[in-house]
Amino acid sequence: GIQVEQSPPDLILQEGANSTLRCNFSDSVNNLQWFHQNPWGQLINLFYIPSGTKQNGRLSATTVATERYSLLYISSSQTTDSGVYFCAVLDHLTSGTYKYIFGTGTRLKVLA
């Protein structure tokens, strides 16, 4: 099956700093998502980005599908950015449905 690896596993930033999170995947994909899990456990979708670049405020993401990686950029980080960032790719099943394969996440802590 598809393998998804994320780096770094942990990241500590001072408020205002920029960061780049990386997701590598082992096979071609047609759906890649970035999720943020806040400190209370809620996961929220950030980007659906199987290829190309998208931006949403201080966050942007780029997926280079041919080289099997995706990057999540956080600029001018804030304490509310703290939490765990997951990359997930969609795996097509023989039953005709799909399931996500998640990376192990990057735990980000932004210090005030």
Partner 1 sequence: DVKVTQSSRYLVKRTGEKVFLECVQDMDHENMFWYRQDPGLGLRLIYFSYDVKMKEKGDIPEGYSVSREKKERFSLILESASTNQTSMYLCASRPLRDRAETQYFGPGTRLLVL
For binding to partner 1 (CB under 8 A), which residues are involved? 9, 30-31, 33, 35, 40-45, 48, 86, 88, 90, 93, 95-100, 102-105
- Given the complex with partner 1, which of 58 and 99 has the nearer CB atom? 99
- Given the complex with partner 1, which of 16 and 48 has the nearer CB atom? 48
Cα separation, 30 vs 28, in Å, equals 7
Can you count the helices (H) and strands (E) in the chain? 0, 11
- Given the complex with partner 1, which of 28 and 76 has the nearer CB atom? 28
**CB of 48: closest distance to partner 1 in angstroms?**
6
Q: Do strands 10-14 and 43-48 pair parallel, antiparallel, or not at all (unpaired)?
A: unpaired
**CB of 17: closest distance to partner 1 in angstroms?**
25
**CB of 104: closest distance to partner 1 in angstroms?**
4
List, in order, residues 6 or more apart from 64 with CB less than 8 Å away: 51, 70
- Given the complex with partner 1, which of 17 and 54 has the nearer CB atom? 54
Do residues 9 and 90 lie in contact, with contact meaning Cβ atoms separated by under 8 Å?
no
Of 77, 112, 104, the closest CA to residue 88 belongs to 104
